[in-house]
Amino acid sequence: MKICDILKEKFTISFEFFPPKTREGEENLFNTINDLLTFNKDFNPDFVSITFGAGGTTKDKTFEITKKIKDKYNLTILEHFTCYGLSKKDIETYLKRIKDIGIENILALRGDKPRNIEDFVPPPDTLNYASELVEFIKNIDKSFCIGVAGYPEGHPKAPSLEKDIEYLKLKLDKGASFVITQLFFDNNDFYRYIELVRKKGIEAPIIPGILPIISWTNLERFTQLSGAKLPQKIYEDLYPHKDDKDYIIKYGIEFSIKQIEDLIEFGIPGIHIFTLNKSYSSKMILKEILKKI
């Protein structure tokens, strides 16, 4: 089913997974999915997304995991796709592969240079921007439902938040239908973002991305990678307990519940939870959130 259509009908709850590198990691992923699909008999995610490595480095593994999840669970899947580092022929071939197994939804992203390949050189016809990828996909096959990324605090490489919103509008004008945001911890940043976005005439559904805090190390890593700020209160609350795993997880669950409750009251169209291929925090959060919707 197309996510564009689901968003017209209901509040959506969705999960992000990443393709594991080992057999043990794959077993853990499917245990996580099983757990999230069975903890509440009345709940099923509206869609799940599978990430795609920089420069196409995980494209075969992403495809393999996507096919296994689709075959086993028949879930609606949002396939991440990063264009930078791939040739137009590579992109067209991959789009055909996922279309052949029934994937209708793509999260179109620029992507970055692979961090572990120092001499990486992209092909001369690689696409340099997500807006170019959206346009390229639509020129190949208009039937794909395309989502794009939004950045409530501005993309780290954008000259300003306002300029970043102009880039968002371009992606939507080229054919994207909905937005999933980067993680954030201060809802006021999201509300300000929505205000600015709507002033630009952007009416597409914007789904906030939620990262449950599960460890201090992960929190540091993801805020650094994403450019999302860590509010002073969270730092003060967690840093003295940074080595206490149980404390961090409990805090993270309680924080995400409050964050999502506030977002629901604001009027968001759904939530997208970055699971990190772990089920416990997401499950505990949803046990409370499902009572509110």
Spell out a b/e string for 65-82, using b for 16 or more CB atoms within 10 Å of the CB, else e.
bbbebbeebebbbbbbbb
- At 50 the three-state DSSP class reads strand
Q: How far is CA 167 from CA 150, 164, 202, in A?
A: 10, 5, 11
Tokens of 57: 């480095």
Phi, psi of 217 (to 5 degrees): -60, -45
Cα angle value 278/209/56 (rounded, 5°): 75
Whether residue 64 lies in the annotated active site: no
- Conformation bin of residue 111: beta by default, left when phi > 0, alpha when psi is -120 to 50: left
Contact 83/127 with Cβ under 8 angstroms?
yes
- Residue 221, burial from CB neighbour count under 10 angstroms (0-12, 13-18, 19+): exposed
Looking at 16, 104, 135, 153, which residue is catalytic? 16
Residue 38 has φ and ψ, to the nearest 5°, of: -120, -5
Give the C-alpha separation, 38 to 24, whole Å: 21
Among all residues, which ones are annotated catalytic?
16
